[in-house]
Amino acid sequence: GESVGLHLPTLSVQEGDNSIINCAYSNSASDYFIWYKQESGKGPQFIIDIRSNMDKRQGQRVTVLLNKTVKHLSLQIAATQPGDSAVYFCAENTGTGGFKTIFGAGTRLFVKA
């Protein structure tokens, strides 16, 4: 079946640098995408979302970019901090209600002090 996948399973960055986490999706009908952050032993937390009619959306220190042409999604974290160390999941859903959210495998981000 179609699913969301991630290019890099792990990412290590220096504190203060910018981080970019990538995600590829295969379902062209997906119209809503979400990034979640999961810290060790905890449930995922919503970070930011983007609709398919947008190319870019910015939050606090985070930016999500959507390239529908190549079905690619990325999460940019500015001035990465040790507290950003976690596993990041991209997720997609289609149709109304968001009932069938498909999660990618996740990327583990390590921030070196």
Partner 1 sequence: SQTIHQWPATLVQPVGSPLSLECTVEGTSNPNLYWYRQAAGRGLQLLFYSVGIGQISSEVPQNLSASRPQDRQFILSSKKLLLSDSGFYLCAWSVGRLGKSHYEQYFGPGTRLTVT
CA distance 49 to 79: 20
Instruction: Tell me whether residue 54 or residue 79 sits nearer to partner 1 (CB atom).
Output: 54
Q: Does 37 bind partner 1 (CB under 8 A)?
A: no
Torsion of CA 36, 87, 100, 29, to 10 degrees: 80
What is 27-86 written as a DSSP string? Answer: -TT--EEEEEEE-TTS--EEEEEEETT-SEEE-SSEEEEEETTTTEEEEEESS--GGG-E
Instruction: Tell me whether residue 16 or residue 98 sits nearer to partner 1 (CB atom).
Output: 98
Site stretch for partner 1 (CB under 8 A), options 17-25, 39-47, 56-64, 75-83:
39-47
Site stretch for partner 1 (CB under 8 A), options 37-45, 53-61, 64-72, 77-85:
37-45
Q: Does 99 bind partner 1 (CB under 8 A)?
A: yes
- Residue type for position 15: E
Q: Report the nearest approach of partner 1 to the CB of residue 68 (Å).
A: 16
Binding site for partner 1 (CB under 8 A): 31-32, 34, 41-46, 49, 51, 89, 93, 96-106
